[in-house]
Each structure stands twice: as structure tokens, then as C-alpha cells.
Amino acid sequence: RKEVEQDPGPFNVPEGATVAFNCTYSNSASQSFFWYRQDCRKEPKLLMSVYSSGNEDGRFTAQLNRASQYISLLIRDSKLSDSATYLCVVTFNTGRRALTFGSGTRLQVQP
């Protein structure tokens, strides 16, 4: 079983739609959680950290459920520029501070 699992998509949605991505992680000792965004042929860029209480940044809302080992990202009012691959990223509480990436979920927002 992969340490971080995501639905690869693609999710094809019209502009203005609300779309949600889910991610599960296998290690209950996971420490930190992030969503990164990767555009085609570009490096991953930090979209937002994910906190236990949930957090919001404009049109983006992230949720963490430690009991279910589940992370989500909600995008409201989708824009064409939101088209990208969204990577669920976790650090594990093993003293190793490197990131473990999910395989990514591809989003295509259509006009």
C-alpha cells in the first residue's frame, strides 16, 4: 500500500464549479500535511499547509481528519488558472523531515 494515496483523476469541471480532492495516508504518526500544486513542466509550489482545525485561503479550504487519516482540499468557484496537478504531501514523525508525495490529482477546468 502506498504511504500517501490520491485519486489520479482527471477531474474535468466547468468554470465556477466546486471541486473536492481527497487523500489518505497510511502512517498514523504523520506529522505535517500540505497541498502542493504542480503545473505542467514546472516545479511543485506550496498551495497551503493543512491544520487539524481546518484552514481556508480564499477559494481554497483544507481539512484534516487524523482519526480517519484523511486530508481534503476544496476549491470553490474554479478558475481556468486552477488547472494543474494537486499533490497531497505528508511528513512522517520519524525524525526524517523529507516530504512524501501522493501521486497527484489532475484538475482541468473548462470554459
Partner 1 sequence: SAVISQKPSRDICQRGTSLTIQCQVDSQVTMMFWYRQQPGQSLTLIATANQGSEATYESGFVIDKFPISRPNLTFSTLTVSNMSPEDSSIYLCSVEVDSGTQYFGPGTRLLVL
Interface contacts to partner 1, rule CB under 8 A: 31-32, 34, 42-46, 49, 87, 91, 96-104
Give me the phi and psi of 14, to 5 degrees please: -80, 155
State the cell numbers at 44: 511543485
Give me the phi and psi of 83, to 5 degrees please: -60, 120
Give whichever of 45 and 66 is closer to partner 1, judged by the CB atom: 45
Smallest separation (angstroms) from partner 1 to the CB of 35: 12
Give whichever of 69 and 91 is closer to partner 1, judged by the CB atom: 91
Smallest separation (angstroms) from partner 1 to the CB of 60: 16
Smallest separation (angstroms) from partner 1 to the CB of 77: 26
Q: In this structure, are strands 70-75 and 100-101 parallel, antiparallel, or unpaired?
A: unpaired
**Measured between alpha carbons, how far is residue 90 from residues 63, 70, 72, 93 in Å?**
14, 11, 13, 10
Give whichever of 67 and 98 is closer to partner 1, judged by the CB atom: 98
